[in-house]
Structure 1
Amino acid sequence: MTTPPAPFIELHDASQTFVGVFIGPELWARTKDAILPILEAAGQEPTDAVSPAAPPAEPLADFETLLAYWDFAYPPAYDLACAQCGAKTEDWRKDEPRKFRLTSANLGGQTSFCCLACRSKIIKRHFKKHVSVDCLPFVDKS
């Protein structure tokens, strides 16, 4: 004998913290008109729980590690330019206010930055004898 599905299911994460409720289609059809205005009103109330996430910290330690093991045939360069909006700097580390934000750096010689003016992604790939730079336009994924 099969058990009919529950009209709603409480959802919990691995540590048994309550994370939400799943309402079955039959129950939703019967309660939608009463519940929807309450949900919409609650979504418009200001709350501290729903605040925009701060961007993660720049991985400056990773960049410093790259510099510590630098073995390329040229000195490190700190200049950046955005091909999308034209923003540029001679030293991204010293700008105040910042024009570019470091998003990743690794020992393979690749560094990535975000242009704070237009949110494009600038990728500098450091090879033994040269640097290649790519600028990718921002794409909204929503």
Structure 2
Amino acid sequence: MPVTKVHFQPVYDQGKNLLGVFLSPELWAKAQAEISPAIDKALEELDPSTVKIPPEPMKDWELLAQYWDFQYELPVDVSCEHCGSSTQDWQKDEPRKFRLRTATLGGLANFECQKCRSRIIKKHFKNKVDVECRPYVEK
């Protein structure tokens, strides 16, 4: 019996319809590191509900707001330069147009645009806010 049939075997039903593919434990052990990311990506495309979205770090945002001592109000507006999406208060949007990815006590807030996945980075300084919009890059 050829080695291929032992380690990689298509499985068919009685009507000769492909049901799936059997991989031997040995083949899976050798190929898992390279195959798993491709399978995960394909599963996301087939069923977007399988994507695990981490919760927003709201405690970090609340801590930033609690210790906010700059001369201007903590800005809650967010805009994306890439797709044009914007909001006056990202926390009040339902569904969210922007999700908080990180917030630090040092004044850095990082948002993800839900339309184009760009990153909007707001750097809060004593007298100003610098905003940077980075396009989404596939890893």
TM-score (norm 2): 0.70
Distance 1:31 1:56, change over 3 A: same
Change (3 A) 1:41 1:81: same
Max Rg structure: 1
CA distance in 2, matches of 1:42, 1:52: 23
The structure with the greater share of residues assigned to helix is 2
1:102 and 1:37 mapped to 2: Cα distance?
45
Counterpart position of 2:109: 111
Alpha-carbon offset, residue 75 of structure 1: 0.7
State the alpha-carbon separation in 2 of the partners of residues 91 and 109 from structure 1.
Answer: 17
Alignment partners' CA distance in 1, 2:114 and 2:61: 19
Helix, strand or coil for the counterpart of 1:138? Answer: coil
The one-letter amino acid of 1:114's match is: E
Contact 2:8 2:22 in 1 (8 A): no
Q: Structure 2: 5+ residue runs without aligned partners?
A: 12-19, 24-38, 44-48
SS in 1 for 2:99: strand
RMSD: 2.4
Matches within 5 A, 1:93-104: 93-104=91-102
Among 60, 66, 75, the alignment partner of 2:64 is: 66
Q: Which runs of 5+ in 1 are unaligned?
A: 1-29
Distance 1:32 1:71 in 2: 67
Instruction: For residue 64 of structure 1, give the secondary structure of its aligned residue in structure 2.
Output: helix
Residue number in structure 1 paired with 2:26:
none
Q: Distance in 2 between matches of 1:105 and 1:55?
A: 17
Partner of 1:61: helix, strand, or coil?
helix
Total equivalences in the alignment: 107
TM-score, normalised via structure 1 length: 0.68
Within 2, Cα distance between the matches of 1:111 and 1:54?
A: 22
Secondary structure in structure 2 of the residue aligned to 1:67:
helix
